[in-house]
Structure 1
Amino acid sequence: MRTAVLGSINIDLVASAGRLPTPGETIGGGAFRREPGGKGANQAHAAAQLGADVTMFGAVGADEDGDFALARLRVVGVDTGFVLRVSAPTGVALIATDAAGENQIVVCSGANQFAVPPQDTEFDLLIAQLETPLDVVEAAFAATSAFAVLNASPARDLPAALIERADLIVVNEHEHRTVAGLNRVKRVVVTYGGGGSELWMRGERVVAVAAVPVQPVNSVGAGDAYCAAVSLALASGVPPRRALATASAVGAAAVSDASSQPTLLSLNAYEPAR
């Protein structure tokens, strides 16, 4: 499936500790790692491994961080030829994680603010998030007839035109409570972490699927892997319950991997037995 991913490309600076600090608290015993991330890049990385033909649209700095982030995408076959190199620094996410895989994240957008919509609109699937400017996402959705997916994260108010155009909006339970107008969307997938996921259509819940039991290692990229998987499955015409179950298995594999861009198999490897 020819897939365009429009979104953020960051470097993740990750500190892992036994627990997350409370406001004003300093804790020790942490371990540090530096790796490529960003919701857009994470979803592109996952979609390519799951079997899509992926082109990434976004922006990075003309710096070593930009080189590092794009090299990771190219390794799994993502076409990065349309990613802009700009004078602003590559985006950075400061992430703290605990022993249970929970996290706290602060994103510094940097070059992501200079992303532009795809000029080539002939894709089967378009996936975008909200870590790049909203008007860029709106323009991309308006210009294509592709199956258009919005991962409405970070949560914010959405224009009516974007709500009406989206074929699918993916949110977590917090975003589901926060983002207004989701009852008007054709399809909304809501994720609940260990509580599974649901599909809503025009405000009516039609499918609920349990999560795959797993010991979490890192939840940072799991939602992005899930989003890529459920987008590919539903855009391909997979029945909703099977699509959500497949995506849940992908999410479980991702949360078991320490990386924000985990190693995955092809999508059909995660499909439930018939």
Structure 2
Amino acid sequence: MSATEILSALDRIHGTVSVIGSMNVDYTVTAQRLPGPGETITGGPLRLLPGGKSGNQAAAAARIGATVRMFGAVGTDGNADLLLGALADAGVDTAHVRRADGPSGTTVITVDANGENTIVYSPGSNAQVTVEYVESVRDALVGSTVLGLCLESPMETVTAAARMCHEAGVKVLLNDSPFVPSLPAELVQAADILLVNEHEMAQLLGIDEPEDDDWDGFDWRHVLDEMRAFGFEQAIVTLGGDGSVVLDATADEPVHRIAPVRVDAVDTTGCGDSFMGTVLAGLASEMTLPEAAELASYVSAYAATGYGAQASYGSAEQIREAFAERLA
């Protein structure tokens, strides 16, 4: 599809999304290069920015027009107000987010001159998103078309939320990140679609990555077979700067290769989350999985042109304007 056709899908965003999981304040510093083990280098000014994989995904989906409800926990520190305020500014409904004693979740991020990053995560209040909490917000949680999950919350909580929504007919999209190589069988059974990057896919399925990153010549049908054996009929594998691949055993075209969208990246922090948030919004708006992933390529590419995670996410209008030349 052309850029015009792909980005026209922004006009179709209308669905309702639930996201349960992590909200973190990102302590971010940019340096010329990433430090090695035991090494101290000088960086630029420290920035405190709203983040957390789940919060990012919710913000990305809301900014392009989806109706989004956030579920999770913030602490009793000043960072909690920053997190809730940023989500509200993005258009996310935070009425069901609980306050837990202690600090909010945090991440410490270093970004190099090429936009690559390293991240250290401290769960804080995210560790207090319990099964009991999920049960207490059941009616609101299952009142959406699609649920987004990642693994920055306790596994038993993620599994309970997936099971609850799956049984209610809500489509469940699971992002296996931070990566866990052995997912509970109950979670796999309750999740409809898996989202992983290329390294996570290789580790999860025990498949060697191609030499010289030749993903175009890779045997994706074999990956689909292995993914089905693992328990997923549908999956998206993101390939960083090489685009992504949609695997769908239920479709006439089971392997759909999506080309990358080239931009001058300054910070890739949160780009994967903006991809996931866009897929959530697309699925909630009755798009096919390839359609949602094609749109997500543009939305996440836009995010790479700004600093931070949520701070770099654009509205539908901003994204169209950024790629206006490609629409001509």
Q: Same fold (TM over 0.5)?
A: yes
Q: Aligned-pair distance for 1:186?
A: 2.0
Match of 2:287 among 228, 238, 260: 238
Q: Which residue of 2 aligns with 1:196?
A: 243
Q: Aligned-pair distance for 1:202?
A: 4.9
**What secondary structure sits across from 2:273 in the alignment?**
helix
Contact 1:45–1:78 (8 Å) recurs in 2: yes
Q: Aligned-pair distance for 1:227?
A: 0.6
Distance 2:289 2:138 in 1: 31
Cα distance per residue 1:13-43 (max 9 Å; x no partner):
0111011011111111433211111001101
Match of 2:174 among 147, 150, 158: 150
* Distance verdict in 2 for CA 1:239–1:126, change over 3 Å: closer
Query: Relative to total residues, which structure has the larger helix share, 1 or 2?
Result: 2
Distance 1:44 1:244 in 2: 16
Q: Which residue of 1 aligns with 2:89?
A: 75
Q: Which stretch shifts more, 12-21 or 171-180?
A: 171-180
Cα distance per residue 1:109-146 (max 9 Å; x no partner):
01001113242222111101000011111111111221
Q: Aligned-pair distance for 1:269?
A: 6.1
Q: Which stretch shifts more, 229-238 or 93-102?
A: 229-238
Larger Rg: 2
Q: Aligned-pair distance for 1:243?
A: 2.5
Q: Is 1:125 the counterpart of 2:125 in the alignment?
A: no
Distance 2:16 2:162 in 1: 16
The amino acid of 2:72's aligned partner reads G
Q: Which residue of 2 aligns with 1:265?
A: 315
Cα distance per residue 1:206-259 (max 9 Å; x no partner):
111111001111111111001111222234332343322211001100111112
Distance 1:234 1:119 in 2: 21
**Paired-residue identity, %:** 39
Structure 1 unaligned runs (5+)?
none
Distance 2:58 2:289 in 1: 22
* Distance verdict in 2 for CA 1:136–1:31, change over 3 Å: same
Q: Which residue of 2 aligns with 1:185?
A: 232
Contact 1:166–1:186 (8 Å) recurs in 2: no
* Distance verdict in 2 for CA 1:113–1:267, change over 3 Å: farther
**What secondary structure sits across from 2:27 in the alignment?**
strand
Distance 2:268 2:164 in 1: 33
Q: CA RMSD in A?
A: 2.2
Q: Which residue of 1 aligns with 2:270?
A: 221
Match of 1:159 among 178, 184, 188: 184
Distance 1:212 1:99 in 2: 20
Q: Which stretch shifts more, 233-242 or 138-147?
A: 233-242
Give the total of aligned pairs: 273
